[in-house]
Amino acid sequence: MDRVPWEGDFPDVFVNCKWKATDPKSVCLSSHGLYSAAKGQRDTDAALKVIDDLVVEDTIKKLRALEMKTGIKPKLIAPAAQIGESNNALAVGYANWLAHELDWEVDESIFQMKDFSKDKLDRWVRIAHRSTFYGEIDKKTPYVIVDDVITQGGTMADLRSFILGKGGRVIGMSAIASREGNDVQIRLDADTQTKLEKMYGGDLAKFCGEHLGFHYRGFTCPEAAGVLSCASYVQLREKIVRGRNAGNASRGKKQATR
């Protein structure tokens, strides 16, 4: 399914804290005492405790503002895999925690296909390998997508495109953590799009269609920054190919252990 271009007013991803910090006194996700149990052992109680300790009131206020703007309670949805395919309880835990806090519902009818984990792989693996989903969506109720960490934003973008492609609506996103601990602009803004077009010229749409399967207008802002860091089409192609090969190798290792 194609990546759907961003609305010009699509809000930033609301974030609560840093994912990792060098200062031991800083509040961050990865240094929480229960992080490993929540992330790697699918411990739902640990996940809820982590989230309870890290979510900030400002995020709750911003999410409530989305409800007030639309005039209807949205549904929360996390890019979660079936039980047995992922050990991470944080994304679903965050959705359920917010549902209790906001009196919203959680949609549990959509699942992410997890043929390999991208967590420890670089940005080019994430760009070269899109996330895929299956299930049915609610066409009447708007969605807010939540996840544990936002890096490039590709998984959230792919889930948004899946929902929109099925006739649904996405009005916002939130994550427990980001690299800097700040809200993240995920939409590709006009200035960044202009920089892409100026740097790569009129062939960029064709290139992205052939090598990534979607138009460059579907990039997230962090993904576009990575593309702009390349010096030429040659370097961009090399990085995409390397990312695709690394992802395929990781997929092969996972399949071999089954």
Q: pLDDT for 41-54, tens place per residue?
A: 989 999 999 999 99
Contact 91, 29 (CB under 8 A): no
Among 22-31, 47-56, 132-141, 169-178, the minimum mean pLDDT is found in: 22-31
> Which range (25-34, 65-74, 153-162) has the least confidence?
25-34
- Which conformational region is residue 42 in: left (phi greater than 0), alpha (psi within -120 to 50 degrees), or beta? left
pLDDT tens digits along 3-26 = 999 999 999 999 999 999 877 777
By mean pLDDT, which of 127-136, 183-192, 249-258 is the weakest? 249-258
pLDDT digits (tens, 9 = 90+) for 52-95: 999 999 999 999 999 999 999 999 999 987 766 678 899 999 99
Average model confidence (pLDDT) across the chain: 92
Sheet holding 170-178, edge to edge: 14-18, 170-178, 143-150, 75-77, 105-106
pLDDT at 120: 63
For β-strands 110-112 and 133-135, DSSP reports them as antiparallel
Supply the pLDDT for residue 86: 75
- Inter-residue contact 178 to 15 (CB < 8 Å): yes
Structure confidence by residue, pLDDT tens digits, 226-244: 999 999 999 999 999 999 9
pTM of the model: 0.93
- Angle, helix 233-256 to helix 204-211, in steps of 10 degrees: 10
Q: Alpha carbon of 73 to those of 78, 101, 112, 143, 145: distances in Å?
A: 16, 13, 24, 9, 14
Structural domains in the chain, CATH included, are: 14-178 (3.40.50), 190-256 (no CATH)
